[in-house]
Amino acid sequence: MRTQVGIVGAGPAGLLLSHLLHLQGIESIVVESRSREYVEKRLRAGILEHGTVEVLREAGLADRLNREGLPHEGISLRFDEEDHRIPITELTGRMVTVYGQHEVVKDIIAVRLAADGQLEFEVTDTKLHDLTTDRPRITYTNAEGRAEEIECDVVAGCDGFHGVSRQSIPANHLNIYDHVYESAWLGILAQTPPSHEELIYTHHDRGFALHSMRSPERTRLYVEVDRTEKLENWSDRRIWDELHTRLALKEGFDLNEGPILDRGITQNRSFVAEPMRYGRLFLAGDSAHIVPPTGAKGLNLAVADVRILARALDAFFSLKKSELMDTYSQDCLKRVWRAEHFSWFMTSMLFSFRGADPFQKELQKAQLRYTATSEAAAKSLAENYAGMPFEWSDR
């Protein structure tokens, strides 16, 4: 097979890139190791920045998002059993939207297939070849067991932290920044209406807790656990009891309970691999960077990456200009490192980090009080949470 851009990974980064390229008349083929059913049901992020929503709308991908997404104009910081609202829209003129990553994936897959886009699911033994030439190749075995090869002009590595794309780059060509935190997230999806109209980020002596939602009927909730914790140690009752304790308010707080539909433990990690380019291979999304979920930046960074990459590839194919391809990595990394810092800041301020000494705990409380009472501090949080405008990082 021959195409202009071979894309490895059918997550939001790879799918959105394929669609943006299609709008520019650029051909692509997407290969994915998982099944379509798996990627459409995989629970991940649920907070879309203002800019992310605008990208999806401009690309014609927001029909269902416009109907079912839940716009939010603020969040609550909860500590010492009191709420402190951060009015994001009032402070920035922007907002975030609650809409699950798997819903974004479903929307893009439907649009790509309707346009006869080439999406290859359930492939195995994917390998990248000749990445430093002008004719890189992707080989794999398709779902029917047949060996396939794609010759292309460019390869986009959008296959996540554990994918083959970054692993195909020689180690001496990458600078790796990796920080693993002591705590992890135990997350559940419950069939019950949200207990609050906005997200609640809670600092508690027993550990961080987050109240979020996915729809008017489903609530997403998290508690901080040790990074070595096992899911089987947490019964439904233990999870709900811990959430009641951590989310409590002095005047009382009614936490809605319901059947738990999904659960899992996610490690807290900050990771950056740079540069995000090797020859004709361009990394995007989790292939190049990971952030703790506390800042709600993972999906949004993936969208920002492929927005820049699509623009660079358009210039390359339509104008025969490679300048934007040459600056792709540095253009992305400006936003990546800002999001890394914000995610680290939120995690450091909210997580209990078992074993932290009294001095560290008092610093956390001081930062929380400052953020809750200073308009300047609250505006900084709001600006980062809603997402820095694209103009901030565009060339």
Are 206 and 350 in contact by the 8 Å Cβ rule? The answer is no
Catalytic position from the list 140, 201, 222, 278: 201
Interval 53-71: pLDDT, tens: 999 999 999 999 999 999 9
Query: Which pLDDT belongs to residue 395?
Result: 64
Residue 19 has pLDDT above 70, yes or no: yes
Q: What's the whole-number mean pLDDT along residues 204-227?
A: 94
- Is 222 in the active site? no
CB atoms under 10 Å from CB of 252, counted, come to 7
CA nearest to 203, candidates 382, 366, 377: 366
Q: Which of 72, 102, 204, 289 is catalytic?
A: 72
- Separation between Cα atoms, residue 288 and residue 161, nearest integer Å: 7
User: What are the structural domain ranges in the chain?
Assistant: 5-71+100-178+269-352
Q: Give the residue, 354 or 131, on which the prediction is more confident.
A: 131
> What counts of helices (H) and strands (E) characterise the chain?
14, 20
CA-wise closest residue to 135 among 1, 321, 280, 326 = 280
Question: How many residues are recorded in the chain?
Answer: 395
Task: Provide the 8-state DSSP code for 101.
Answer: H
Report pLDDT digits (tens) over 301-331.
999 999 999 999 999 999 999 999 999 999 9
Superfamily of domain 5-71+100-178+269-352: FAD/NAD(P)-binding domain (3.50.50.60)
Is 136 a known active-site residue?
no
* 140, 181, 293, 328: the active-site residue: 293
Given the residues 222, 278, 328, 385, select the one marked as catalytic.
385
Beta strands 47-48; 124-129: pairing state: unpaired
Residue 329 corresponds to which amino acid? S
Catalytic residue, candidates 194, 222, 297, 328? 297
CA dihedral 135, 140, 145, 148 (to 10 degrees): 0
Dump pLDDT digits (tens) for 245-295: 999 999 999 999 999 999 999 999 999 999 999 999 999 999 999 999 999
Of the chain, the percentage scoring pLDDT greater than 70 comes to: 99
CA distances from 281 to 13, 79, 269 (A): 15, 45, 24
The reported pLDDT for the residue numbered 360 is 87
What average pLDDT does the structure give for the chain? 95
Active site residue 297: yes
- pLDDT computed for residue 394 by the predictor: 78
DSSP for 178-194 reads: EEEEEEEEEEEEESS--
pLDDT at 45 (0 to 100): 77
